[in-house]
């Protein structure tokens, strides 16, 4: 897959503020004159949004971890084919709210020892890593409180509880330690303005 643009992702546990910060970075970069595609996973393309509904709504026990990995990978493949790869080929900046690191942690680690399966499918069907990944870090109790305040029906993972979110946080930290060149650990418990400023500065450094 030829890549001319820049691929940036946001990761973290539920309620850490990724969507807000991804949107703010997109606005900052657009104001600076860059072509930016802001997208999210699961979803981001018509087919992947249909799969999203299957994944984020309903009972926690609805899918096994293995089935989820296949559904997330199918959604991601469609998203990469239809949206991400064409935008990168056109030289745009793509900002994605979650990507494969979420599957590595949510399905690969927190729901079972399935990282080999996630990485194997990623290598075979996706084969794309971000240049930069912002890991928005926050205590699970604070993040869950934020998520609950937001409301909505998309709470399947939030409903798995605080212990699950604690495992997720540890999993994200392990990924960040293993790929320090790509990850930036951001303290997301601070004022959103300060978080946005740090993220914008890191991105400017990479663009320069």
CB of 150 to ligand TMP, least distance (A): 9
Site string for ligand TMP, 71-90 (x = CB under 6 A): -x------------------
Examine residue 11 and tell whether it contacts ligand TMP (CB under 6 A): no
Of 30-38, 39-47, 135-143, 198-206, which segment contacts ligand TMP by CB under 6 A?
Answer: 39-47
CB of 91 to ligand TMP, least distance (A): 25
Examine residue 9 and tell whether it contacts ligand TMP (CB under 6 A): no
The token duo for 139 is 């205590």
The token duo for 31 is 């104001």
Cβ closer to ligand TMP: 103 or 203? 103
Q: Which of 9, 41, 78, 95 binds ligand TMP (CB under 6 A)?
A: 41
Site string for ligand TMP, 147-176 (x = CB under 6 A): -------x--x-------------------
| Lookup result for tokens 């399905």 | 107
Please give the Cα distance from 108 to 65 (Å, whole number): 8
Query: Interface residues with ligand TMP (CB under 6 A)?
Result: 14, 40-42, 56, 72, 97-98, 102-103, 106-107, 154, 157
């Amino acid at each position: 897959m030829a890549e001319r643009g820049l691929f940036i992702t946001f990761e973290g546990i539920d309620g850490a503020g990724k969507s807000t910060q991804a949107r703010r970075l997109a606005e900052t970069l657009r104001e600076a004159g860059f072509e930016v595609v802001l997208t999210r996973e699961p979803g981001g393309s018509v087919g992947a949004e249909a799969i999203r509904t299957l994944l984020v709504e309903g009972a926690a026990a609805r899918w096994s971890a293995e089935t989820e990995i296949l559904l997330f990978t199918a959604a991601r493949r469609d998203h990469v084919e239809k949206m991400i790869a064409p935008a990168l080929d056109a030289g745009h900046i793509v900002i994605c709210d979650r990507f494969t690191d979420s599957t590595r942690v949510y399905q690969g680690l927190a729901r079972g020892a399935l990282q080999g399966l996630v990485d194997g499918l990623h290598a075979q069907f996706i084969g794309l890593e971000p240049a930069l990944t912002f890991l928005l870090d926050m205590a699970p109790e604070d993040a869950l409180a934020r998520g609950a305040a937001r409301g909505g029906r998309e709470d399947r993972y939030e409903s798995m509880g605080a212990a699950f979110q604690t495992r997720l946080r540890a999993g994200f930290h392990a990924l960040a330690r293993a790929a320090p060149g790509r990850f930036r650990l951001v303290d997301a418990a601070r004022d959103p303005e300060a978080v946005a400023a740090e993220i914008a500065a890191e991105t400017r450094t990479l663009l320069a």
